[in-house]
Structure 1
Amino acid sequence: MPNPDFDAEALYRQLADSVKSSLASTDNLAVVGIYSGGAWLAERLAQELNVGNRLGFIDVSFYRDDYAEKGLHAEVKPTQISFEVEGATILLVDDVLYTGRTTRAAINELFDYGRPAKIKLAALVDRGGRELPIAADFVAQTVALTQDQQLVLGRDDDGRFSLTVDHA
């Protein structure tokens, strides 16, 4: 059951409006979503930004510095970047920004494909708790949660987003 405090569609609209007003006229723009929630958001943002085939997806599982602790989750997906990263402005998209470790891993992976001119980070929700000096350029909402809580972005069959709080 979605938390009544979170209207994921309204949050997405806020994020998209902010991104579009800032990046709509950016040359050599590409959008890269971090699986899975960030990938869903990136798909919609890429359509709204009209970036064509300059949409990519990253699974950071093998790039995380805590891989040995967390292990490999069952749904590893292949990274898909079919455009030239070198010199591009990359909009990196994630659903929830927390410790910064996923973002760091995604940036490391992006650099394996080339050196972008610039990377901008967009997150639907920033829940604080940073362990690395990472900040989003675009964020729809900042929330405070306890360590035993996590935000989970869902996507219905019709593409609508939902955001729930789960307890670990």
Structure 2
Amino acid sequence: MSESGSSGLLALDAESLYADLRAGVARLLDKDTQLAGITSGGVWLGERLIRDLQLPQPLSTLSSALHRDDFAQRGLTASAQTSLAFDVNSADILVLDDVLYTGRTIRAVINELFDYGRPARVRLAVLVDRGGRQLPIQADFAAARLSLRASQKLALARRDDGSLHFAIEEA
């Protein structure tokens, strides 16, 4: 992490953090662990993890859209919907996301998973835990932990070549 220009905001190296996430996820995987990425950043991470770790299973996608507590304001987004390549019942699931903030998206995704069955275990790995939790949810692995003002938005973006970078903006 380094200071960026005149804005005084931290510049995060998403590619370096991804390398840390890859190592952390490799330690969390059991032979039967299923990966599920939250749209969209978690899916991008999952796609790379499956390729880089040479995992045999396809990536599943989780959407929080139907279980969000701000659904009335946000509605359904155009992002991908939930698509699971495994039976949720008794599954060991590792959920992937880019940024953990309030915990509300993770709560919605867990509700979504339970619509499909009863997993044996659900764990969470994130690229960045930015603090500011509003619910008692924590990551089993976070490549970085940092504090940002509530007025700042941290978003993972993907370039055309597949490389990752962060955008930190004032909301």
Relative to the length of structure 1, the TM-score reads 0.90
Counterpart-to-counterpart distance in 2, 1:85 and 1:27 = 16
Give the C-alpha shift of residue 57 in structure 1: 0.4
Aligned twin of 1:111: 114
User: Which amino acid is the alignment partner of residue 86 of structure 1?
Assistant: N
Aligned twin of 1:121: 124
Aligned twin of 1:18: 24
Aligned twin of 1:164: 167
Select 2:69's aligned residue among 57, 65, 68.
65
Give the C-alpha shift of residue 97 in structure 1: 0.2
**Helix, strand or coil at the partner of 2:31:** coil
Aligned twin of 1:37: 41
Give the C-alpha shift of residue 4 in structure 1: 6.3
Q: Contact between 1:53 and 1:83, CA under 8 Å: does it hold in 2?
A: no
Unaligned runs of 5+ in 1: none
Q: How many positions carry a matched residue from both structures?
A: 165
**Cα pair distance change 1:78/1:91, threshold 3 Å:** same
Relative to the length of structure 2, the TM-score reads 0.89
Q: Contact between 1:85 and 1:113, CA under 8 Å: does it hold in 2?
A: yes
Aligned twin of 2:133: 130
User: Which amino acid is the alignment partner of residue 42 of structure 1?
Assistant: G
Counterpart-to-counterpart distance in 2, 1:162 and 1:89 = 29
Residue 52 (structure 2) pairs with residue 48 (structure 1): yes
Select 2:32's aligned residue among 28, 31, 34.
28
Give the C-alpha shift of residue 83 in structure 1: 1.4
Q: Contact between 2:66 and 2:76, CA under 8 Å: does it hold in 1?
A: no
Counterpart-to-counterpart distance in 2, 1:62 and 1:146 = 28
Aligned twin of 1:139: 142
Q: Kindly provide the CA deviation profile for residues 74-116 of structure 1, in whole angstroms up to 9, marking residues without a partner as x.
A: 4232211121111111110110000000000001101111111
User: Which amino acid is the alignment partner of residue 142 of structure 1?
Assistant: R
Where in structure 1 do 4 or more consecutive aligned residues deviate above 6 Å? none
User: Which amino acid is the alignment partner of residue 67 of structure 2?
Assistant: Y
Moved more, 122-131 or 47-56: 47-56
Q: Kindly provide the CA deviation profile for residues 92-141 of structure 1, in whole angstroms up to 9, marking residues without a partner as x.
A: 01100000000000011011111111111011000101010000001011
Unaligned runs of 5+ in 2: none
**Helix, strand or coil at the partner of 1:41:** helix
Aligned twin of 1:153: 156
